Amino acid sequence: MPLSIAAEPAPFALDPARTALVIIDMQRDFLEPGGFGAALGNDVSRLAPAVAPCQAVLAAAREAGMLVVHTREGHRPDLADCPPAKQARMPPDARIGDPGPMGRILIRGEAGHDIIPALAPASGEPVVDKPGKGAFFATDLEAMLRARGITDLLVCGVTTEVCVNTTVREANDRGYRCLVLADCCGSYFPEFHEAALAMIKAQGGIFGWVSDSTRLLAAMQA
């Protein structure tokens, strides 16, 4: 029997068997000093409040036997999949592929590219490596979800207005229902976080629904 999650613009009916938790880009390069986020001049501490709510939702999803998918943004060591225009938007002395405190910035296999220890994937949980903002672009995420009969996504991660929002829009175009958990997402810019959530739930939920970890966990525990 589906669970009813209090959400905006309306309650969200959730069937755990047909739902996947997608945790987007909770990587050291974005959340810790010395990575990609910091190289862009951002205050990475602003993403920290999302970690504990994500941990709670991750634990509940695992206990419920839901599919859990982690994503990481990053590029091949040879940068063959990194558009020059993307690399050029970085500061000249800290571009994608340049050496940083956690290895080469935003490069697969480097320490900074990995997911933070607090949200480390468990054995058997798929990790989707993506070269772009959206989790569906140039990845096998859609094939993975279709193979498991997934129709709904619980979406967490960073940043709200970039990779989270892009993934939700991609998912919406592919027919997935998305519930974004506001406190499990974060941005370097609080006003962008709020605007991104407003865009998702506007006009009757044009891209999806918005709730939070407290309301989700209350429904799952009940």
- By the 10 Å C-beta count (0-12 exposed, 13-18 middle, 19+ buried), 73 is classed as buried
- The span from the CA of 16 to the CA of 202, in Å, is 25
Angle (CA) 16 27 174, round 5°: 45
- The span from the CA of 207 to the CA of 168, in Å, is 7
For the record, the structure tokens of 96 come out as 């994608």
| Residues labelled catalytic | 25, 130, 163
- The span from the CA of 83 to the CA of 137, in Å, is 14
For the record, the structure tokens of 84 come out as 């020059």
